[in-house]
Chain A
């Protein structure tokens, strides 16, 4: 092996660093169990340490100011605070360094509270010894710290919206209103999605068709929105803030290809309606319809008059809830959320058309949550009858000999009586299923949940973000929900896009993997382990070597140990730093063990 030139050669001797060490009492949390003065004294003569002091609360405003003064007055170029977990205050002290004009990445937090004082409350000597080791170790790491700076890159002020339903269209307007150009790609020849097919919706009675029309009118008013129909997203390259996407436009004269730079992508591809199996609750029989079919039937009925199906008057309707939802293991386990209220609302529309139509709702739990409870109450007030069936005793549908349909159900609400309802129409209250969209999933690397819907990065706190930076999901492609909720999610994705792009640049932590091109032999092994696909092979000095894209690298360090020639270092946690830190820790612990042996056993 040829002699390697130490990368740090030009650097000053690490022992000439000027490091300030602050040992925090944490108001007794540390000092009650650790001899903090002894720690301070042990660090005073440590090479490179210029200040070693204890503080009642290192995090307090006052001490922060003292630190800033010390950094400036004593020309400190490294800072170590021995206190709590870095999760709590790493940002705090990096900011202190920043404010004092010191490189924030020359700050190291030694977690001596969780790792020593709390863990060894009954062994003051041992805890103190351990703290000395941890602080020396942090100093060692700091001595070898490099000056690092956040990675800053410009962001493209344009977002791509995939899907031209109500969610996507509203999101596009939201983007444009904030000053981000919006490009909508819709697979179908027409925009509007499911909402564009239907009339009155709950709870405001606004027509879905009208809502889509109003959105399209507003889109026409805005120069910053482009809508492509019969179009598909077909390629994606680049990284968050700077994606390059390819769009294929299916046109009569053949496909056209389009390339665009976008900063973020909002996926709003919607859902498919559950398609019952043949024979499922009598599906396939004349007079058994799904919820979307029924809604179209209502839309075509006169405002007031008669409801008819296939030319026959409808005098009675039975709704069977949870079709395609809450199916238990092996089926669709999830609840489709919108369907209870949608069915209830449909029954109210029927009631308006012809109040004499008898309506029966066969349900398991009525999930008319929040203000939708009012719709549920209204439908009961309008004469709808509700019958509850047990999860394991679903109703059955059969043709009656005299014509019409018979629905048999055991009603829990009337002491489990079996009832046969003769009705003209059976509405299967069908839920939502995930739309089949494998090419898009592969292209965007969208995570898909066990239920088949797209998964967010955190279902509670980050509901529109995915693990892919800059790719958002909104609406029913993520989970069943109402149109209004989908619009909310679409706008939330707009807000998230703006939070990422609006400043015009983005900053990333510089704690990323770096490849030493002199050492790299181009084995490509690191490429296989990178979960973020941040490593690519590039041509360098006439040979192929690996290269890390710092804008997508998360600094996980997975590639570092895999490199056979030690060509990869993690900035901020370099091999040299970690080795030095470990050596300090080991050498500090050794005497404790020796002493422990000498102590008499009591």
Chain B
């Protein structure tokens, strides 16, 4: 047997039970679901009738509990299941929830919660104020340790193929930490400005806000922080690890190569990029026109590499990988991309007025393209190169730019839909469902057009079923529609037959996989030559920039492991939690205030004349508003600020839940209660009228660790002068299904009445009650004392509360003491004395033999008179409000009674009632 007793729940009943049993010499396992022991009592202001500070009397109990040599406390853990063995003992499965903080290292200094960029309602402040996603439960928490609240991986992060923490930089931007937001992007890639413009933003497809009014403008926020960094900061401001003495060659300086170089250089490796062209950047520089991706942005991104000492050797085509390796590298990454245009065998394709799309764009990017003033340009092809070429042609003065595409409709094009719509807006004409069969000779060629065949080449397909780019299989319509035209006149023909991977470099050494990509393991990106890795399109076939970035990052981590002699098998680059569901996120937010979505402003003119960037940046206000719309799906945004700032290096995002099985001799259920959800009494307006609060909220307003430094009403922060209490909210009320009296509400109300009169000497306090249930030692005297202090007590129920324009509340009630008339009175603040509800979590604790409950779902005590705390299961006892309404002293006595019988059970003496059960 691992422990004599399991105690579930560490409120005052659980602590009392644990301490008493431990004092007797029994070994106790105490399991608490929150990060601190103490339950609800530690959150109270003071306690009746002594007006002791709750912290002062509960704090030492918490400390005794956690330090007791016979008590093992598992905070932030939950009991999954308890089953009773044949020998009468219990098998218990405990889930230690991942805290994402190494508690052995955590000092409770609270730096993490100061740095955290996510705010959520604070359950320990009755949701009156926010807490952070990284939080210490409350100032007097025991143990005083932080946890990270992670509901899962935010969908935007889960969707990012580049491994960028989208939620993280959005939340950092929201808090004005723009540089930190930029740095978080740099953790993945140096191409922040580039992705801020040219990423297709799969994150935005995943955004839960998109289910409401419209997505958070995640890509534009990235661009905002990048622009801001490049305008203000000097260099990337990152540090590399100590040199490892290893060197890596990367072939190709496109997004994959550059990202791999960045990652490896940060890991301390010496990196050299071999680039065949005269300038670095691959398609970023040569393929994407400046009006979509300004070249200074690419240059700024590439300059990040300089700071880490990455050498880029241009005009350095590699033809022999083995020779390159042998020239002094420990590993080589092929990141040559999809740099070759597919073959185009139409008659006349070799004519003088026919240019390749890629060459055309490259010349245009280098400002070396000829003007096309007055010329008719026909672009053959429907991919992004085609769209870019047509739009570039217009900017070079072409009188018209026509795209001939085999796709049957815009959605079937091999480019992103926005690329098509922008091109169309600028005056590019697209002829669908048409193929060029022949190009005539002469300076003004005639193109003979035919209907696109049903087996037209399929465009780029998304990998792994992801839908972040426009797939085009719809163009392969079963019956080919008729072509719109039979012939076209053109002064210039630009051919865009599609991009593909040039396999000649690696075919011999590594082999060729399907889709002409390098034969490399898809996870490890390693080829059969162990030192040779692949990244980007070379590894995947034609894809997107963002995927190439992700692939480069992956390759770098794999190479780093390879160089360190670590295994690549089973290594998970980004070990993610399961993705948070939209439904769960929307369900978590009580109400979502409408926000007009922030979208980018793209200026599209017909026949544009210059290469200026067409998309306007977000203003700072827009960046704030846009990032402010984030719903914090995963709660923690993974912004890494806590991890970076924790002085104890205690943050550990790789932690996961841990299941432990233990055997115990007896169980004490002390899971406590819940409070009535006051919005179930709509006539009182809780949740609608901000100045109607619950008594638990008032207790927080009065507590020494209160969220605001005074008692104020939430609606406008006014210090209230007239405060009303409404007793029996959710108790003695068949309309909400609870005919029971909650016992403690009268008394806590009287306590609060006295405390308010102390805190706000001029305030008038009135309580509307049914029966004043001051039943208990010194309770009646406490009630009398409140009356003597000036609190007013009016017998009669409240029928309805209405809000006045200034936020005051009109309370309509019956005044029984004065003739029973219906009276209305205005108050500044109304406090609902909410009652107790059963904590139905207990129902999940026991598997085969369910724990007996009474008809109101409290744990049943079959022989409550002589064996209080005894349940229907021998060896299982209940302590405190799990069994029904109790105040603190009742709970302590009840726990004492349960404990006496637990000990008897453990000593194998059974009281008659328990014997009857066995």
Report Cα–Cα, A480/B774, bound state, in Å: 12
Q: A61-B104, A206-B865 are in contact. List 5 more A-B contacts (CB 8 A).
A: A335-B776, A367-B771, A370-B742, A415-B819, A488-B896
**Cβ < 8 Å to A, chain B residues 859-918:** 864-866, 868-869, 884-886, 888-890, 892-897, 899-901, 903-904, 907, 909-912
A479 in contact (CB, < 8 A): yes
Report Cα–Cα, A415/B909, bound state, in Å: 59
Given A334-B780, A487-B868, A390 and B896 contact (CB-CB distance below 8 Å)? no
B784 in contact (CB, < 8 A): yes
| Pairs A-B, 5 closest by C-beta atoms | A492-B896, A177-B904, A499-B23, A479-B777, A491-B897
Given A413-B816, A413-B820, A463-B892, A373 and B739 contact (CB-CB distance below 8 Å)? yes
**Cβ < 8 Å to A, chain B residues 1-32:** 19-20, 23-25
Are B899 and A495 closer than 8 Å at their CB atoms?
yes
Given A56-B107, A485-B893, A499-B23, A177 and B866 contact (CB-CB distance below 8 Å)? no
Q: Which residues of A lie under 8 Å from residue B740 when comparing CB positions?
A: 370-371, 373-374
Report Cα–Cα, A2/B607, bound state, in Å: 116
Give the interface residue-count category, chain B: 35 or more
Residue in A28, A91, A170, A377 whose beta carbon sits within 8 Å of that of B63 in the complex: A91
A6 in contact (CB, < 8 A): no
Report Cα–Cα, A460/B889, bound state, in Å: 5
Given A218-B911, A365-B771, A502 and B25 contact (CB-CB distance below 8 Å)? yes
Report Cα–Cα, A44/B422, bound state, in Å: 74
B109 in contact (CB, < 8 A): yes
A249 in contact (CB, < 8 A): no
Are B817 and A460 closer than 8 Å at their CB atoms?
no
Q: Which residues of A lie under 8 Å from residue B303 when comparing CB positions?
A: none
Can you report 23 residue pairs joining A to B where beta carbons are below 8 Å apart?
A27-B111, A179-B907, A204-B864, A333-B780, A334-B778, A335-B779, A367-B775, A369-B885, A371-B741, A374-B740, A413-B816, A414-B820, A451-B778, A459-B50, A460-B888, A461-B888, A484-B865, A493-B896, A494-B896, A495-B900, A498-B24, A498-B903, A502-B25
B418 in contact (CB, < 8 A): no
Report Cα–Cα, A373/B746, bound state, in Å: 14
A208, chain B: closest CB distance, angstroms: 9
> Whose C-beta in chain A lies nearest to the C-beta of B111?
A27
Most buried by B among A173, A365, A463: A365
Given A61-B104, A377-B739, A176 and B20 contact (CB-CB distance below 8 Å)? no
A215 in contact (CB, < 8 A): yes
B480 in contact (CB, < 8 A): no
Are A337 and B776 closer than 8 Å at their CB atoms?
yes
Q: Which residues of A lie under 8 Å from residue B780 when comparing CB positions?
A: 325-326, 333-335
Give the interface residue-count category, chain A: 35 or more
Q: Which residues of B lie under 8 Å from residue A105 when comparing CB positions?
A: none
Residue in A204, A370, A480, A487 whose beta carbon sits within 8 Å of that of B897 in the complex: A487
Residue in B67, B107, B866 whose beta carbon sits within 8 Å of that of A211 in the complex: B866
Given A61-B105, A178-B903, A495-B896, A487 and B776 contact (CB-CB distance below 8 Å)? no
B647 in contact (CB, < 8 A): yes
Are B865 and A201 closer than 8 Å at their CB atoms?
yes
A interface list, Cβ under 8 A from B: 27-28, 56-57, 59-62, 91-92, 95, 170, 173-174, 176-179, 201, 204, 206, 211, 214-215, 218, 325-326, 328, 333-335, 337, 340, 365-374, 377, 388, 390, 412-416, 449, 451, 453, 458-461, 463-464, 478-480, 483-485, 487-496, 498-500, 502-503
Are B893 and A489 closer than 8 Å at their CB atoms?
yes
Q: Which residues of A lie under 8 Å from residue B107 when comparing CB positions?
A: 27, 56-57, 59-60, 62
Report Cα–Cα, A483/B866, bound state, in Å: 9
Q: Which residues of B lie under 8 Å from residue A57 when comparing CB positions?
A: 107-109
Residue in A177, A204, A479 whose beta carbon sits within 8 Å of that of B909 in the complex: A177
Are B775 and A178 closer than 8 Å at their CB atoms?
no
Are B57 and A461 closer than 8 Å at their CB atoms?
yes
> Whose C-beta in chain B lies nearest to the C-beta of A89?
B63
Residue in A215, A460, A502 whose beta carbon sits within 8 Å of that of B50 in the complex: A460
Are B819 and A503 closer than 8 Å at their CB atoms?
no
Residue in A28, A174, A334, A499 whose beta carbon sits within 8 Å of that of B24 in the complex: A499
Given A365-B771, A412-B817, A498-B903, A463 and B893 contact (CB-CB distance below 8 Å)? yes
Are A174 and B893 closer than 8 Å at their CB atoms?
no
Are B773 and A367 closer than 8 Å at their CB atoms?
yes
Q: Which residues of A lie under 8 Å from residue B20 when comparing CB positions?
A: 495-496, 498-499
Residue in A28, A204, A337, A377 whose beta carbon sits within 8 Å of that of B775 in the complex: A337
Are B784 and A333 closer than 8 Å at their CB atoms?
yes
Are B49 and A492 closer than 8 Å at their CB atoms?
no
B interface list, Cβ under 8 A from A: 19-20, 23-25, 47, 49-50, 52, 57, 61, 63, 67, 104-111, 647-648, 732, 739-743, 771-781, 784, 795, 816-817, 819-820, 856, 864-866, 868-869, 884-886, 888-890, 892-897, 899-901, 903-904, 907, 909-912
> Whose C-beta in chain B lies nearest to the C-beta of A208?
B865
B313, chain A: closest CB distance, angstroms: 47
Report Cα–Cα, A431/B401, bound state, in Å: 101
A334, chain B: closest CB distance, angstroms: 5
Q: Which residues of B lie under 8 Å from residue A333 when comparing CB positions?
A: 780-781, 784
Report Cα–Cα, A308/B47, bound state, in Å: 48
Q: Which residues of A lie under 8 Å from residue B866 when comparing CB positions?
A: 170, 211, 214-215, 487
Given A415-B819, A503-B25, A491 and B776 contact (CB-CB distance below 8 Å)? no
Residue in A56, A179, A488, A500 whose beta carbon sits within 8 Å of that of B647 in the complex: A56
Q: Which residues of A lie under 8 Å from residue B742 when comparing CB positions?
A: 370
Most buried by A among B111, B884, B893, B910: B893
> Whose C-beta in chain B lies nearest to the C-beta of A414?
B820
Are B868 and A484 closer than 8 Å at their CB atoms?
yes
A81, chain B: closest CB distance, angstroms: 14
Are B820 and A495 closer than 8 Å at their CB atoms?
no
Q: Which residues of A lie under 8 Å from residue B648 when comparing CB positions?
A: 56, 60, 62
Q: Which residues of B lie under 8 Å from residue A414 when comparing CB positions?
A: 820
Report Cα–Cα, A258/B363, bound state, in Å: 116
> Whose C-beta in chain B lies nearest to the C-beta of A497?
B900
> Whose C-beta in chain B lies nearest to the C-beta of A368?
B741
Report Cα–Cα, A326/B784, bound state, in Å: 10
